[in-house]
Each structure stands twice: as structure tokens, then as C-alpha cells.
Amino acid sequence: MVKIRLMRVGKKKQPSYRIVVVEEATKRDGAVIQVIGHYNPLSKTDELTVDVEKALGWLEKGAQPTEAARRLLSRAGVMKLWHERRFGKPASGTDPLPS
């Protein structure tokens, strides 16, 4: 099974993470299939960059994000787009109220 998860990079006590696509059995810092984003929690604005098209492509192929990766993908708007593509309608909570 293919997972979307975080891979820790950076110096000791200065973590930075890559959002990567890996085989489920791969170690945390093992071989990756593709890097789809980057997250730096120590910057003042919590720097987050995600290649939306690559992420959507992997989700459509069946890749399962871990809990932490899912939160970051949601913050980047990827999960909402994937839901809309998958079900053909806006995600719940975004529909306007009926008149």
C-alpha cells in the first residue's frame, strides 16, 4: 500500500519535514517514490508548500495519507479538492444555505 506521510529533515532540534509518497513498509527516512511538498513548523508563518496536482494524482491512485499528512493537506486545500473531484460536489459545510 502507498502512503503519503512526513519525512523529517533538518538539523538536530530544528525539524523540517517533506511530504512524501512512500511504500507503507518503508522506514521514516527511507526511499521515497515522490516528494510532493514541504513543511517547516519553526518558521514564523508555519511555511507549507504542496504540489496540489501531484497530491491529487496520488490520492486518486489510492494513496492513503497519515493523520499528520492529512491535516497538512487539508490546510493546503488538497483534501477539499479531492473530495469535490471524487464525489462531484462541494465538500460538506461549504454549500450555501437554501433560500
Place of cell 507503507: 24
- Cα–Cα distances in Å, from 56 out to 4, 66, 82, 87? 11, 15, 6, 14
pTM over 0.85: no
User: Each residue of 64-75: pLDDT tens digit?
Assistant: 999 999 999 999
Can you point out the beta strands (E) in 1-99? Answer: 2-9, 16-23, 34-40, 47-50, 64-65
* Structural domains of the chain ordered from first start: 2-87 (3.30.1320.10)
- Cα–Cα distances in Å, from 72 out to 12, 95, 97? 22, 23, 28
User: Each residue of 11-28: pLDDT tens digit?
Assistant: 999 999 999 999 988 887
